[in-house]
Amino acid sequence: MSEGGRGNLGILREAVENIKIMDTHEHLPQEEDRIKELVDVFSTFLPHYASSDLVSAGMAEGELEEIRNPRLPLRTRWEKFAPYWEKIRNTGYARALEIALRDLYGIQELSLETCEEASRRMREANKKGLYRWILKEKSGIELSILDSERIDVDREFFAPVMRFDGFIALKEKWDLEILERHCNSPIHSLDELERALELEFLRLKDSIVGVKIALAYRRSLSFEKSTHEEAEKVFNRLYAQKVFRRIDAYGGRITKPEGLSFEEAKPLQDYMMHKVVALAAKHGLPIQIHTGLQEGNENLITNSNPVHLTNLFMEYKEAKFDLFHGSYPYIGELSVLAKNFPNVFVDMCWLHIISPTVARRALSEWLETVPGNKILAFGGDYRFVEGVYAHAKLARENVARVLQEKIEDGTFTEAQAVRLAVRLLRENALDLFFPRAGIRKG
Ligand SMILES: [Zn+2]
């Protein structure tokens, strides 16, 4: 490579490093809650992701619980963890943990000694200012969209979305009772259920920046068009179900609803999903939908194929659909959907740690197929703040590498590449989730 080439690499990299990221998706606790936790390298870093790889590698769930327990001695936990750590060190999830440990806590490699030292340093940092240090200073993130079931979030760091899955995934009488308590109003008919949903939107619409749908964890994303009459029949059957209650030996209440099968419940669930989409569109709220790989172990990937959602894209043209996780492994399907439909957006949250290689390959493909205003290149999708740092670092590296390749093969000029990087990591998310704020450059 010529001197000029190296110079170019420097300019793009530097531009990407300096972008104040708009992070489309996190599950972080509020800082005041995080700093009350007992932190150590296992209980803090293994609530998800690497823990699922440990199970996939053969670890028993009971062992995982022991490793996560901050009250057990670190040495015992290390001894259980070490043989499996060796097995999962090749994955993206493990790599993210190593980046966080190295860059934030100065730990080069995990061992019995260093996991004790890392935990000591984590405890030392676990105080007010932790989020400013990691999210703002180290990660360069301006704001993170937070999926945490609450709206009273620290607005210095977060803007919330809210889930409406509880209004949709109705299968047992029990689900209606939970909703009644949540909405603080009786729900005795389909009309009352719809009214409660409308009121929930009115209550939340000015506090949230979007709607989150995580239903692909428990059902197919195929939502057919059912009529009010079909949905009402299912509602009335559900409402007539009996809920048996008794007190168990420990004083806890055991409830055993009769429940409907998924096939029986589907017309009502589908009907309510259409209502949620229509209301989100009416109130100008983008809809974040989980598609592709489900976190954890042993789920049905075919449930989460984004192609199932096509009828919703066609029917609700005024709605905006933010499809999560690059729909991995349905990368090509998402390319086609986002290319075809003006209301479908590609969201790469979680993707850079699932596989950095897939993230780069997919981004390269999307940059050739999907308009540059519809690709959102970063959402950390972590429950612990250290993970967000590592993920943001990988995301910046991937965006820079893909754009650099396209400069070198003559697809983009350097100026175009820098412009796109700002769109991918910042402006597209601002446009989609904060349209009224106008674009804030920087
Ligand atoms: Zn998530």
Considering the domain architecture, whether residues 231 and 270 belong to the same structural domain is answered as: yes
Domain for residue 23, yes or no? no
Q: How far is the CA of 321 from the centre of ligand 1 (A)?
A: 16
CB contact set of 60 (below 8 Å; sequence gap of 6+): none
Considering the domain architecture, whether residues 354 and 269 belong to the same structural domain is answered as: yes
Q: Are 234 and 264 in contact (CB under 8 A)?
A: yes
Ion ligand 1: protein residues whose beta carbon lies under 5 Å: 381
Considering the domain architecture, whether residues 286 and 330 belong to the same structural domain is answered as: yes
- Residue 247: is its pLDDT beyond 70? no
Which residue in the block uniquely carries the two structure tokens 């949620």? Answer: 276
Span 230-240, average pLDDT? 96
Q: How far is the CA of 322 from the centre of ligand 1 (A)?
A: 13
Domain for residue 130, yes or no? no
Domain for residue 196, yes or no? yes
Considering the domain architecture, whether residues 161 and 192 belong to the same structural domain is answered as: yes
> Where does a domain end: 84, 104, 125?
125
Considering the domain architecture, whether residues 111 and 182 belong to the same structural domain is answered as: no
CB contact set of 163 (below 8 Å; sequence gap of 6+): 147, 149, 211, 212, 213, 214
Q: How far is the CA of 136 from the centre of ligand 1 (A)?
A: 20
Measured distance CA(206)–CA(382) in Å, rounded: 25
259: pLDDT confidence band, cut at 50, 70 and 90? Answer: confident
Domain for residue 30, yes or no? no
Span 84-113, average pLDDT? 97
Q: What is the pLDDT of residues 356-392, one digit of tens each?
A: 999 999 999 999 999 999 999 999 999 999 999 999 9
Give the total number of structural domains in the chain. Answer: 2
Q: How far is the CA of 63 from the centre of ligand 1 (A)?
A: 25
Q: How far is the CA of 254 from the centre of ligand 1 (A)?
A: 30
256: pLDDT confidence band, cut at 50, 70 and 90? Answer: low
Q: Give residue 251's pLDDT.
A: 62
Considering the domain architecture, whether residues 54 and 150 belong to the same structural domain is answered as: no
- Residue 441: is its pLDDT beyond 60? no
Q: Are 92 and 378 in contact (CB under 8 A)?
A: no
Considering the domain architecture, whether residues 204 and 306 belong to the same structural domain is answered as: yes
Domain for residue 216, yes or no? yes
CB contact set of 229 (below 8 Å; sequence gap of 6+): none
Q: How far is the CA of 25 from the centre of ligand 1 (A)?
A: 6
Residue (of 348, 310, 320) closest to 425 by Cα position: 348
Considering the domain architecture, whether residues 114 and 169 belong to the same structural domain is answered as: no
Domain span at 91: 38-125
Q: How far is the CA of 380 from the centre of ligand 1 (A)?
A: 8
**Mean pLDDT score of the chain:** 94
Span 131-156, average pLDDT? 97
Domain for residue 389, yes or no? yes
Q: How far is the CA of 126 from the centre of ligand 1 (A)?
A: 23
- Residue 5: is its pLDDT beyond 70? no
Q: How far is the CA of 212 from the centre of ligand 1 (A)?
A: 9
Measured distance CA(268)–CA(442) in Å, rounded: 46
> Where does a domain end: 93, 125, 157?
125
Would you give the DSSP letter of residue 288?
A: E
Domain for residue 3, yes or no? no
CB contact set of 148 (below 8 Å; sequence gap of 6+): 26, 27, 28, 29, 160
Q: Give residue 3's pLDDT.
A: 43
Q: How far is the CA of 326 from the centre of ligand 1 (A)?
A: 12
- Residue 197: is its pLDDT beyond 50? yes
Q: How far is the CA of 162 from the centre of ligand 1 (A)?
A: 12
Considering the domain architecture, whether residues 342 and 388 belong to the same structural domain is answered as: yes
Domain for residue 121, yes or no? yes
Considering the domain architecture, whether residues 173 and 108 belong to the same structural domain is answered as: no
Considering the domain architecture, whether residues 89 and 169 belong to the same structural domain is answered as: no
Q: How far is the CA of 302 from the centre of ligand 1 (A)?
A: 18
Q: How far is the CA of 226 from the centre of ligand 1 (A)?
A: 29
Q: How far is the CA of 230 from the centre of ligand 1 (A)?
A: 32
> Where does a domain end: 125, 145, 164?
125
Q: How far is the CA of 93 from the centre of ligand 1 (A)?
A: 14
Q: Give residue 45's pLDDT.
A: 98
CATH number at residue 326: 3.20.20.140
Q: How far is the CA of 324 from the centre of ligand 1 (A)?
A: 8
Considering the domain architecture, whether residues 236 and 109 belong to the same structural domain is answered as: no
Q: How far is the CA of 26 from the centre of ligand 1 (A)?
A: 6
Q: How far is the CA of 27 from the centre of ligand 1 (A)?
A: 6
151: pLDDT confidence band, cut at 50, 70 and 90? Answer: very high
